[in-house]
Amino acid sequence: MLKILVIGSGGREHAIAKKFLDSKKVEQVYVAKGNAGMKRDGIDLVDIAENDHESLIKFAKKKQISWTFVGPEIPLLNGIVDDFITAGLKIFAPSKAAAMIEGSKSFAKEIMNKYNVPTAKYQTFFDFSKAKSYVKRKGVPIVIKKDGLAAGKGVVVAFTIEEALGALSDMLKKNQFGEGVSCVVVEEFLEGEEFSLLSFVKDKKIYPMVIAQDHKQAYDNDKGPNTGGMGAYSPVPQISQEVIDEAFERIVKPVVIGMEQDSASFTGILYAGLIATKKGPKVIEFNARFGDPEAQVVLPRLTSDLGQIIDDLLNDKEPVITWREDGITLGVVITAQGYPQNCKKGMPVPTKFNDSKITPYYAGVNCDEKGELVASGGRIFLLCTTADNVKIAQKKIYDELDKQSLDGFFYRKDIGYKAIE
C-alpha cells in the first residue's frame, strides 16, 4: 500500500489528495501544509512549510512515504524535486530546470521557437524606452507580460496605447508586479477560444487529459483584473477533437521531446494554456503543474486510479488512464470580497450542502477556536458538480449558492457561459 505526501495548500491540492484517497493502492495521504477544510475528507495535514525542504525530506523518510506529489509552482522553482531526488526520495514533479517552462516566459518562448511550436509573436525588453517604441509601432490590442512568476497577475491585455504604456511603466520602472527578473515580454494578441490541455508526462512519454476551460478575469463576462482563476469546466464542447489532436501533435509533443533532448527532461504534469485561433491552436503559456481550478474539474472525470497511475509512471510501467465520457463537470470558485486585491477575512465558511452531488474543495480556510471553518483570504472554496450538460450543472451549483449565507464572499455568476449553444 502507498503512503503519499502532497505539497501545497489550495483547492487544487484538496482535489489531488482526495483523488489519491479514492485509490485502492493508497493507505494514507498527507498534505503539507494543506488546509483545515481537507481534514473533513480524512486527509492528514503536516505542519511543515513548502519551502522547508529539509524538514519535508525528514518527514518523508520518517513516515516511509512512497512518493511525493507537488501541487504549486513555487516549490518546483525552489528546487524541491532536485533536493528530494538527491536525498534518494521519489517525487512526481519537474526538476527546477524543467519547471523553467513555467518560471520564465522567455525560456518557454525560446523552446517554442526552437521546435517551431505555434505561439504568439513576441519580443523581450529590459529597457522602457525600447519597449515603448515597439508597442507604439505594433499598436493595440497587445499583451504585456512580466517575466518570472506572477500567479496570473503579471499579464496585461491592453486595448489602448495608454494602458499598454502604463503596464510597461509599472513592470519595468516601478516593479509593481513583484520582485524578480526585471524584463517584460511584449506579445501579439491572440484571438480565439481559450482552453487548457494538461498531460501526465514521464520523460518522453505523454498522456493527455481531458481538456478544461478556466475563467481568469474576476468579474462576469470576462471583465476586471486577471486572477488565479474564478471557475472552470471540463470537457469544453466548443473545442473540437481535431483542434485538441493538433494541439497535442504540434505543441505538447515537440515541447516534451525537445526538453528531453535539451537535458531539461520533464516529469510531472505539463499544462498547456492555449488559444484556438483561426490558424489553429497557439500557446499563451505553459505551467509545470496542475491548474487551479482546472484540477478540481478534470480529476473528478478520471475513472481509473490516480495513485496507480502516478506509481506506474514513476516505475516506468504503462499506466491505465480512462475518463468519464458523458456530461460536464463544472466548478465555481467562491472568493473573499476584495479578491484579487485586499481580501476580507474571518467569515464563516459553509460546510453543509443541500445537494449531495456537489463536492466542495477548500482553499483559503482556517479553523476557529470552536473548530469551525473561517475564511483566511483569497480564493476560499470551489463547488463542483457533474451533470448532463452545462446548464444543469450551473443550475445545481448556483441554486446551492443561493441557499448559503455568503456575506463577505464573492463569485462569478456565469461560469461555463461559453459552453452554452
Query: Which residues contribute to the site for ligand GLY (CB under 6 A)?
Result: 152, 214, 229, 287, 291-292, 294
Min dist CB 71 to ligand GLY, Å, is: 10
Min dist CB 289 to ligand GLY, Å, is: 8
Residue 325: helix, strand or coil by DSSP?
Answer: coil
When asked if residue 274 is in the footprint of ligand AMP (CB under 6 A), the reply is: no
What letters, b where the CB count within 10 A reaches 16 and e where it falls short, cover 81-108? Answer: bbbbeeeebebbbbbbbbbbbbbbbbbb
How would you classify the pairing of strands 184-188 and 142-146? antiparallel
| Binding positions for ligand AMP, 74-93, rule CB under 6 A | none
Q: Toward ligand GLY, which CB reaches closer, 195 or 410?
A: 195
Min dist CB 24 to ligand GLY, Å, is: 29
When asked if residue 151 is in the footprint of ligand AMP (CB under 6 A), the reply is: no
When asked if residue 146 is in the footprint of ligand AMP (CB under 6 A), the reply is: no
Q: Could you say which of ligand GLY, ligand AMP, none residue 291 binds, taking C-beta under 5 to 8 angstroms by partner kind?
A: ligand GLY
Min dist CB 134 to ligand GLY, Å, is: 27
| Binding positions for ligand AMP, 166-195, rule CB under 6 A | 187-190, 194
Which residues touch 249 (CB under 8 Å, ≥6 apart)?
A: none
When asked if residue 152 is in the footprint of ligand AMP (CB under 6 A), the reply is: yes
CB 415 within 8 A of CB 394: yes
Overall residue count recorded for the chain in this entry: 421
Q: Toward ligand GLY, which CB reaches closer, 132 or 146?
A: 146
| Binding positions for ligand AMP, 214-273, rule CB under 6 A | 216, 226, 273
235: cell is 470537457
Q: Could you say which of ligand AMP, ligand GLY, none residue 194 binds, taking C-beta under 5 to 8 angstroms by partner kind?
A: ligand AMP
The whole-angstrom separation of Cα 116 and Cα 113 is 5
Instruction: State the number of binding residues for ligand AMP (CB under 6 A).
Output: 16
When asked if residue 295 is in the footprint of ligand AMP (CB under 6 A), the reply is: no
The whole-angstrom separation of Cα 281 and Cα 57 is 40
> CA 64 from chain center: how many Å?
28
* 248: nearest Cα among 298, 277, 283, 291: 283
